[in-house]
Structures are given as structure tokens and as C-alpha cells.
Amino acid sequence: MQPDEIKVTAYSGYKSNQYPKRFQYKGCSYEVLEVEKEWVESHIDGRNKKYCFKVRANIGSCTISYNPKSNVWFLEQVKG
């Protein structure tokens, strides 16, 4: 699956866009029921980071990522 840009409503606690709460994909809205895992991927130069989340949503198990530099969220994978 090619990553698709999505719109995300995120929880912002001690930092902005801490984790996703719900997202819109192909015109439908999905609720994140649980964040199962989170990790950070860094480019080899260490400057470009991507925050990744494995979540359980009402569409299935999904991997969602956030690029803070561009302020864009992506749906990377869906397993129904």
C-alpha cells in the first residue's frame, strides 16, 4: 500500500500531535480505539524524524505516521 495523506484529530498533551484519536480516509471518519505501539524513525542524518503509531481502529489494525516538519499525517498500512 502506498502511504496516503490523511486528516487526523490528535491528542496534544505535553507536546503537539502526541498521538492520533481519529482520522479521515477516503471520505470516511474512523476512531482510534487503542494505540498499540509507537516509535520514532529517523533519517540517517538524524534531522528528519517520523513518528509512527500502530493503532486499532474501527477499520482494522493500522499504521499511521506523522511528519512534524511538514505537519502531515499518513496512513501507511491497513489490515482488516
**Are the C-beta atoms of residues 73 and 65 closer than 8 Å to each other?**
yes
pLDDT at position 44, please? 76
CA distance 26 to 59: 12
Instruction: Name the pLDDT band for 7 (thresholds 50, 70, 90).
Output: very high
Contacts of 26 (CB under 8 A, 6+ apart): 4
What are the structural domain ranges in the chain?
4-79
**pLDDT tens-digit profile of 9-24?**
999 998 889 999 999 9
Instruction: Name the pLDDT band for 40 (thresholds 50, 70, 90).
Output: very high
Instruction: Name the pLDDT band for 4 (thresholds 50, 70, 90).
Output: very high
pLDDT at position 67, please? 94
